[in-house]
Structure 1
Amino acid sequence: MLLSKGFEIEIYTGTPAGEIIGLSDRIVADLNGFVREPDSRNVEYTTPPLCQYEKLLCELVRPRHALRQYLKGLGDYTLIPGSTLALGETDRFFRSDPSNPYHTYIEQTYGTTVVTASVHINIGISDPELLMRACRLVRVEAPLYLALTAASPFLGGHITGSHSSRWQVFPKTPAYVPLFASHAHHIQWMEEQLATGTMQNVRHLWSSVRPNGDRRPYNLNRLELRICDLISDPVALLAVTALLEARLIQLIQNPDLDPLILSDFPTNSRNHDLAALSDANESAVAKHSLDAELHHWQDNRSILAREWIQQLYDEVWPYAKANGLSCFLSPVKKILREGNEAQRWLRQYEAGQSVQQVVEKAIAEVAASEAILTRELCEPCAA
């Protein structure tokens, strides 16, 4: 029983030296499948919802290959890994669509704190009450997925002290989001936010996870995990996705796997306590990723992020194996062993490389690995 999965990938464009340059207006005009973000320095593409991981891998890599070829036609341009403006200007907004009033609101309200790159993982769940239960569970475990994917330790040419500078500064909106106890609760809460103006529209729910669909908040069909930094390695992204999917399969087969049921927090304050715990865990992970000290939603015990991930991995492994996911899940162990992108980049910095050198090396390595994936995986898929 595999669930459908799709990705929204935001990525920076620029030069091999790491200078981030806004090209989204030209990309969107000339290439199918790409859409603009409010700032022109990054661009987004979306993969179709698919169940099979092998096909998803091709759908992740093929648009990037097409984009790279297009950028080469424009000049000496490439794709830049990472989730923040690692080099260059960080206080100026480069509007991609000056006539868009929603973009005006975003620029005036948030400035460049929203000029980040990330990956949103969408998992198809059509039953609204099951979807709300899934969102509750993923909300309290979302920090673990950020810990695996942190990739933004630099900003404006400097180290920031955070492994995910993106999530450290990203303006989560509204400031307080509860765990939705039911679909009706979600609808009521959303209508209240829109009425009071804390949300400008139904898209303006910027939290670590949210229910999504064709007519929010009424018609919903998927869970959207929004907390992850941009993962350069598509195989690693599929591993993180397999961990999430295996957990959701476990949830589907175990209806009581619900923070509002299993948590030891007092019943009358449980929702608020779990939301506060999750927010605190997100902040800790943004700072220290896999080495962050967190508090478990079940009993508030202290636990390191990497230990919690290992426990989760062991718990969902039987579900992954039973559904043919185990080979795609196993690269999670490599991330735990070798560190996420932020940790690997920081080790290079600590060994004496400059931020510029680390970024340049990452750009070249990602380009080379994507070329191999395109040649070995996508071309056979197309044939």
Structure 2
Amino acid sequence: MNGRRLGVEEELLLSDVVTGEVRPLAREVLAGCEGVGDDDNGASLKHEFFLAQVEVATGPHTDIGSVRNELAGGRARIADVGAAMGVAPLAVPGPVLAMTSTGRKISPGDRYSAVDLHYGETARQSLMCAMHVHVEVADPEEGVAVIDRVRPWIPVLLALSTNSPFWHGVDTGHASWRSRVWNMWPTSGPAELFGNADAYRARAKDMVARGAALDEGLINLDVRLSHRYPTVEFRVADVCTDLDDAMVIAALARALVVHFAERAGDPPDAWRVDELRAAAWRAARFGLADRLVSPASRELAPAADVGQQLADLVAEPLETAGDTELVRAGLHTFMTRGTGATRQRDALAAGGAMADVVADLRRRTLRF
């Protein structure tokens, strides 16, 4: 299967343009966005669990530039409408500043109420923004074959996306605190090998039957079969402030799907879940600032070497998709400039206050 389509969903916070605090105005902003710049090729703008969040969801495309354009268009629409209400979109994984209870207002609707009732404080502490990458697969069997084989590379994608060092006014000491908070959910994180689609469906059914997930939409594995689309869905990444960063991760996710779909007959590497969790913790803690667990050697290795291992692994599908230069340049930027977490800490060092971090995030969110 060549020229696989991919789509991206990114979650954004609504931030007061004066104070920088999150504001629960999603209903008003989304109502104002109806019909504004909307056409058959535009991104969809949607509600999320919290009223301080909105989601931008692209359509499926073979050209990654089209994905980028839709995300940029969605951000611009939210910014244009939000300006009249004194809010701007922030592509940041969680509240940088300390937050009042107003920021935790939940969107109306039976489903959101059911989630709040069932999960309690786990849900209420989960005002966070991720980036999900959907890559099409031929069928669920191929999807599960990819899921089983891609597992050790998922922490590398997390390391590249790390963008949440600050949380409610505190420096967490992590590059991605969002991913640590996300692991409070009972179905999040890596999974054991499934083997085939029937086994995957059986495990999903078990998670729902035991109450860990209310339904398939709340099976929050790092990588899963989408319950809505014929795709494998990567859910591990922090939302990226810079769209160029996001496109590198999306291109790598697609290339990983192509690579492992072509090797569906080969036995997957038998990584234990505890090994995968340790690798993900290291990625979340340090991003690219320290060594990562190498999926090739299973040992700690310099982050630049692990990034190159990933690029080498998927060199052929990157070339086929026309994404080689995008990823080459993107990895060079990551390794020399650092991830989004590095840029936030640089903004704090330059300005001296968390408000300076928010201001820099606002500028970069709308720098297309």
* TM-score interval, normalised by the smaller of the two chains: 0.7 to 0.9
CA contact (8 A) 2:131 2:240 kept: yes
Residue 318 of structure 1: CA displacement? Answer: 3.4
Match of 2:23 in 1: 21
- Are 1:54 and 2:65 an aligned pair? yes
Q: Provide the rounded CA distance (Å) in 2 between the counterparts of 1:319 and 1:53.
A: 13
- The amino acid of 1:154's aligned partner reads F
CA contact (8 A) 1:132 1:182 kept: yes
3-state SS of 1:123 partner: strand
TM-aligned CA distance change 1:57 to 1:208, over 3 Å: same
* 2:91 aligned partner: 81
Contact in 2 for aligned 1:140/1:274 (Cα 8 Å): no
Cross-structure match for 1:355 = 354
CA contact (8 A) 1:150 1:163 kept: yes
The 1:247/1:72 distance shift into structure 2, 3 A limit, reads same
Deviation at 1:279, TM superposition (A): 1.4
The one-letter amino acid paired with 1:94 is K
Q: Deviations over 1:39-92 (max 9, x none)?
A: 111111211111112222211111111111111122x22112310111131666
Q: Indicate yes or no: 2:220 matched with 1:206.
A: yes
What is the Cα deviation at residue 153 of structure 1?
0.6
Q: Secondary structure of 1:358's match?
A: helix
Q: Which residue of 2 aligns with 1:126?
A: 138
Correspondence list, 1:267-282, <5 A: 270=270, 273-282=271-280
2:327 to 319, 329, 333: 329
CA distance in 1, matches of 2:259, 2:30: 39
| Deviating more after overlay: 91-100 vs 33-42 | 91-100
Determine if contact 2:24/2:52 at 8 Å carries over to the other structure: yes
Provide the residue aligned with 1:373 in structure 2.
none
* Residue 245 (structure 2) aligns with: 236
Alignment of 1:1-383 (within 5 A): 1-16=2-17, 17-32=19-34, 33-74=44-85, 76-89=86-99, 93-97=104-108, 99=110, 100-105=112-117, 108-170=120-182, 171-174=184-187, 177-214=191-228, 221-256=230-265, 261-263=267-269, 270=270, 273-297=271-295, 300-330=298-328, 331-350=330-349, 353-367=352-366, 369-370=367-368
Tell me the CA shift for residue 115 of structure 1: 0.6
Q: Deviations over 1:267-310 (max 9, x none)?
A: xxx4xx52221111111111111134443445532224432111
Number of aligned residues: 352
Matched to 1:315, the amino acid is L
Instruction: Give the deviation of 1:352 after TM superposition.
Output: 6.2
Q: Distance in 1 between matches of 2:320 and 2:187?
A: 39
Secondary structure of the residue aligned to 1:152 is: coil
One-letter amino acid matched to 1:282: A
Q: Which whole-Å CA distance do the structure 2 matches of 1:79 and 1:321 have between them?
A: 34
Per the TM alignment, residue 130 of structure 1 is displaced from its structure 2 partner at its CA by 1.4
Q: Which amino acid aligns with 1:84?
A: G
Give yes or no for contact 1:163–1:287 (8 Å, CA) kept in 2: yes
What is the one-letter code of the residue matched to 2:214?
Answer: Q
Contact conserved, 1:93 with 1:111, CA < 8 A, in 2?
A: no
After superposing the two structures, state which structure 1 stretch, 170-179 or 43-52, moved more.
170-179
Instruction: Give 1:51's aligned amino acid.
Output: T
In the aligned structure 1, how far is the partner of 2:249 from the partner of 2:339? 12
Identity rate of aligned residues, in percent? 19
Over 3 Å counting, the alpha-carbon distance change for 1:333 and 1:317 in structure 2 is farther
Contact 1:173/1:204 (8 A) holds in 2: no
Does the Cα contact within 8 Å between 2:296 and 2:309 map onto a contact in 1?
Answer: no
Q: Partners in 1 of 2:88 and 2:83 — Cα distance?
A: 7
Gaps in structure 1 of 5+ consecutive residues: 215-219, 264-269, 371-383
- Please report the RMSD computed on the Cα atoms of aligned residues, expressed in angstroms: 2.3
* 1:285–1:113 CA distance, 2 compared to 1 (3 A): farther
Listed as ranges, the gaps of 5+ residues in structure 2 are 35-43
**SS of the residue aligned with 2:233?**
strand
Tell me which residue corresponds to 1:378.
Answer: none
- Could you tell me which amino acid in structure 1 is paired with residue 129 of structure 2? A
Q: Which amino acid aligns with 1:133?
A: A
TM-score when scaled to structure 2?
A: 0.88
1:361 aligns to what SS in structure 2? helix
> Is the 1:149–1:231 contact (alpha carbons within 8 Å) kept by the matching residues of 2?
yes
Say whether the 8 Å CA contact 2:115–2:123 is kept in structure 1.
Answer: no
Distance 1:113 1:335, change over 3 A: same
- Verify the 8 A CA contact 1:90 1:156 in the aligned structure 2: no
